Chains A and B, each alone.
Chain A
Amino acid sequence: MRLLRAGKQRPSRIRSPVCPPSGSSPGNSSCGPLTFRCPLSSAWLPACACSAALVSRASSCGSGMEETTTAAVAARGVSVSAEEREAWMEKAMHMAKEALENGEVPVGCLMVYNNEVLAKGRNEVNQTKNATRHAEMVAIDQVLEWCHHCGRTPTEVFEHTVLYVTVEPCIMCAAALRLMKIPLVVYGCQNERFGGCGSVLDIASADLPNTGTPFKCIPGYRAEEAVEMLKTFYKQENPNAPKSKVRKKEGHKC
């Protein structure tokens, strides 16, 4: 219960949660505005997403999901049918799978505006040495870039944009999504370690009048599958790395 165990106990033995294993995601992936019209089109860049969070268990929000799986969901500014959500989350899962096959953190993340993909974020923490470069943050910057190119007002675009991501956004990303005034986030599994949509804190719906606007969440889409992918990924991580002292069973958000 001290302020900090400075120098005494550091988190250094913990495998970095903000850092995918080295070797992942090298090079200059395109960060620019990407536009993909059809969620089922096949021309996807490999491994374009990875906001990773190792998650201990699948979403427990299954019951909440049931009522929303069949109905169209309207959040402030957007309305998405069940079929649309299904198709985009399918795409996000596909991105996550591709990332896994390429040895990267298996997370898929898409920003969709008017049925058009404006951004596909992937984790860039290692290559930028900036721990805030989660897939969602990268995707937000891609949408901003798109707005800049197309001469659109970011506020107006974000207010009608839906984020599809295979893992619950972390606390930082949830606050960023509020600040951008995104109305709706559809995600797969929970992020027990860093989740900002209820798992650790509920930033999505918290009363924070100076931090953008709350957003609606639809969790639980193929959660178990998303968790399994993350588990597989972290199992194959450097076997020589010391085991995390904290919550060995769980993983982390990248």
Chain B
Amino acid sequence: MDGSKQIPGMCITVLLLSVKCKEVSSREKCQESKSLRPTISVKKMDRVLCPGEHGEENGSVMEHKTIPWQIFPVLSDQQSQGVELVLAYAVPILDKKKTSRLVKEISAVYPLEGQQHLKRVRACTDKASPHPLEMLICLAKPGKEKAEGLHTLSELLPDKQVDCCGLGEPFLVHVPAHPPLTRMQFEEAKFHWPTAFHEDKYVTSALTGHLFSKEEKVKMQTYMKQAIWAAQQGAEKGMKAIGAVVVDPATEAVLAVGHDCRSSSNPLLHATMVCIDLVAQGQGRGTYNFKSHPACSVSSLGNRDPSASKAIRAGTVRKFESRDNGLPYICTGYELYITSEPCVMCAMALVHSRIQRVFYGTASPDGALGTKYKIHTRQDLNHRFEVFRGILEDQCCSLIKDS
């Protein structure tokens, strides 16, 4: 399976890209966020601060401080890898006037199915070139050219369907094998051959750091600070210094705060597993008893009045797998803030729990949300979610180092 052996590198370099994001008008941006991210637009409306949130702190931080960290989306390999190239036959167009006829005829013979992103004709980049245009004919068969030499035009177009008058001799050229998914891939791809690009503005704004407003980043920082606090509480009791909180973005309520509780008596109580069980406890169930860990807590808001939660949901597009009590199914729609990247077990637990987003501070050596695997992007699993890295990364990193 392709995801099983991955390059540990993430998609950070992409940020260096100069992107035209700023050209996107604010109106477009607004539409984008409405269609793709209903939860964010909703949560700005008529916010009443929930207990446990630090309203004043939010305000002051927002006005006086800059955000000292950067947030990076952890994208799939397809989105973050470099452009794969394949060899193709191209041919010079000697007589410019015949271009449209040639494109029509050659497209009929070689429709370039599966390569719709490739433009058929390119202008010659070299001004000194004797011919103004070049046209793509078909993909070359890998290895065959080496063995048999280049095909001639009459070999490529043997059946006289195309009047080859006006064409030069074919040559090989590298073309992008797949449609570009990010602007960086597009910039790289079009360097080799003109390529169509249907930009996903959401991905672009995530990559350029424009996805979240400053106000949102301040809130995210508050949640991560709570996770760091939990990690410190756990560390004081001899636990591994990893903390996490679960947030319902629709209400901005912190539903659960937990820290790593692994010990010889239960080595599997990682912070994520603790939080998942705490959410279950907030829904009236759950499995474990965390009484000996007072920093692991469930917010009463997790047990909110079903009618209230319905009212909150009215303006959102989100669909909950609502159960009889009006609460969402497990962690549907919730966000996890965690100081360290989850391991394989925890990452898959988040898939099973239907988490919506995970924000982690710093990467882990065997991490499964970017480092060793990208479990959240796998098309062959039944649930996918967004992952971002970098909130208070330095602090999260030093938690691990200090412990």
Q: Do A and B come from one complex?
A: yes
Partner pick for B4 among A127, A201, A211, CB 8 A cutoff? A201
Interface flag for A133 (CB, 8 Å): yes
CA distance A12 to B330 in the complex (A): 12
CA distance A196 to B357 in the complex (A): 23
Contact yes or no, B200 A208, CB < 8 A: no
Q: How does the 8 Å CB contact mask read for A192-231 relative to B, with 1 for contact and 0 for none?
A: 0110100011110010111100000000000000000000
Contact yes or no, B265 A144, CB < 8 A: yes
Q: From known contacts A2-B202, A144-B266, infer whether A129 and B382 are also in contact, taking CB-CB under 8 Å.
A: no
CA distance A61 to B291 in the complex (A): 46
Interface segment, one of B23-31, B34-42, B103-111, B148-156? B34-42
Interface segment, one of A70-78, A89-97, A105-113, A171-179? A171-179
Q: How does the 8 Å CB contact mask read for A1-31 relative to B, with 1 for contact and 0 for none?
A: 1111111101110101111000000000000
Contact yes or no, B316 A7, CB < 8 A: yes
Contact yes or no, A130 B285, CB < 8 A: yes
CA distance A176 to B348 in the complex (A): 11
Q: For residue A124, give the distance in angstroms from its CB to the closest CB of chain B.
A: 7
Interface flag for A132 (CB, 8 Å): yes
Contact yes or no, B366 A210, CB < 8 A: yes
Contact yes or no, A128 B382, CB < 8 A: no
| Range for the number of chain A residues in contact with chain B | 35 or more
Residue of A nearest to B3 (CB): A201
Interface segment, one of A39-47, A148-156, A159-167? A148-156
Inter-chain residue pair count (beta carbon < 8 A): 172
Which residues of B are found within 8 Å of A147, using beta-carbon distances?
A: 265
Partner pick for B265 among A16, A148, A211, CB 8 A cutoff? A148
Interface flag for B345 (CB, 8 Å): yes
B interface size (C-beta, 8 A): 69
Interface of A: prevailing SS: loop
Q: Which B residues, 332 to 364, have Cβ-Cβ distances below 8 Å to chain A?
A: 332, 343-345, 348-349, 351-354, 356-357, 364
Contact yes or no, A3 B264, CB < 8 A: no
Which residues of A are found within 8 Å of B320, using beta-carbon distances?
A: 12
Which residues of A are found within 8 Å of B319, using beta-carbon distances?
A: 10, 12
Contact yes or no, B276 A132, CB < 8 A: yes
Which residues of B are found within 8 Å of A52, using beta-carbon distances?
A: none
CA distance A209 to B364 in the complex (A): 12
Contact yes or no, B318 A10, CB < 8 A: yes
Residue of B nearest to A4 (CB): B386
Interface segment, one of B84-92, B132-140, B216-224, B372-380? B372-380
Contact yes or no, B273 A153, CB < 8 A: no
Interface flag for A118 (CB, 8 Å): no
Contact yes or no, B277 A130, CB < 8 A: yes
Contact yes or no, A131 B344, CB < 8 A: no
Q: Which B residues, 278 to 318, have Cβ-Cβ distances below 8 Å to chain A?
A: 279-280, 283-287, 316-318
Contact yes or no, A129 B285, CB < 8 A: yes
Residue of A nearest to B344 (CB): A175
Q: For residue A145, give the distance in angstroms from its CB to the closest CB of chain B.
A: 9
Partner pick for B264 among A14, A155, A210, CB 8 A cutoff? A155
B residues near A (Cβ < 8 Å) are 1, 3-4, 35-39, 73, 75-76, 78-79, 181, 200, 202-203, 206, 264-268, 273, 276-277, 279-280, 283-287, 316-321, 329-332, 343-345, 348-349, 351-354, 356-357, 364-366, 368, 372-373, 375, 378, 380-386
**Given A7-B39, A154-B264, A176-B345, 20 new contacts (CB under 8 A):** A1-B200, A1-B203, A3-B386, A6-B386, A10-B332, A12-B329, A19-B329, A128-B277, A129-B283, A130-B286, A131-B352, A132-B352, A133-B287, A141-B266, A171-B375, A179-B267, A180-B267, A193-B381, A196-B348, A211-B344
A residues near B (Cβ < 8 Å) are 1-8, 10-12, 14, 16-19, 124, 127-133, 137, 140-141, 144, 147-148, 153-155, 170-172, 174-176, 179-180, 193-194, 196, 200-203, 206, 208-211, 246-247, 252
